[in-house]
Every structure is written in structure tokens, then in C-alpha cells.
Amino acid sequence: MADWIDENRKARRYLLELLYAERHKARNQEVGGFIARRDLGDAVPDADFHLAVLAELGHLKQNGMRWRITGSGVLYLETLISKE
């Protein structure tokens, strides 16, 4: 596999892990658990690409310039981890 594809996969997983942790600690699940785009951009290179891909898959939800993991994203990440 091309190295850059593997790096992209790792970046998307890292974003999912950050957003999972933020959602998990949110007191109000209806409105909490969001992370600002600028903070996610500092976390991984090419964040806009990764956020768009994860949103297309239904794993993320956007509210203005803030992002959070969806229920589908939570289950996807837990499934990935359980297979390791």
C-alpha cells in the first residue's frame, strides 16, 4: 500500500478518536461533543479532506465550523478497535 494512503487512514482514525473522546465527556449529548475546525486542523495535515470523507461516510456531523462524531462513527471506531 502506498505510504500516503496509510498516513491518510491513520489521520482519519486519529480524528475519530479525538471526536469520540470529546463526545464521550460531553454532559449534554444533544449539543455537546463538538470540536472547532481550527483545532482539528492543528491535529492532522489535510484536515478538510479527512473531515469531508468522514462526513460523506456518515461518521461525522458538522455544525458551522464545529465537528462531532455521530453514532455511526462511534460504532465504526469501536469496531475497528475490537478487531485489533
SS (H, E, C) the chain: CCHHHHHHHHHHHHHHHHHHHHHHHCCCCCCCCCEEHHHHHHHCCCHHHHHHHHHHCCCEEEECCEEEECHHHHHHHHHHHHCC
Read off the pLDDT of residues 60-72 as tens digits, 9 standing for 90 and up. Answer: 999 999 999 999 9
pTM of structure: 0.93
Spans of all domains in the chain: 3-82
Burial class (CB in 10 A: 0-12, 13-18, 19+), 15: buried
Percentage of the chain surpassing pLDDT 90? 90
Domain 3-82 has CATH 1.10.10.10: yes
Task: Indicate whether 45 pLDDT > 80.
Answer: yes
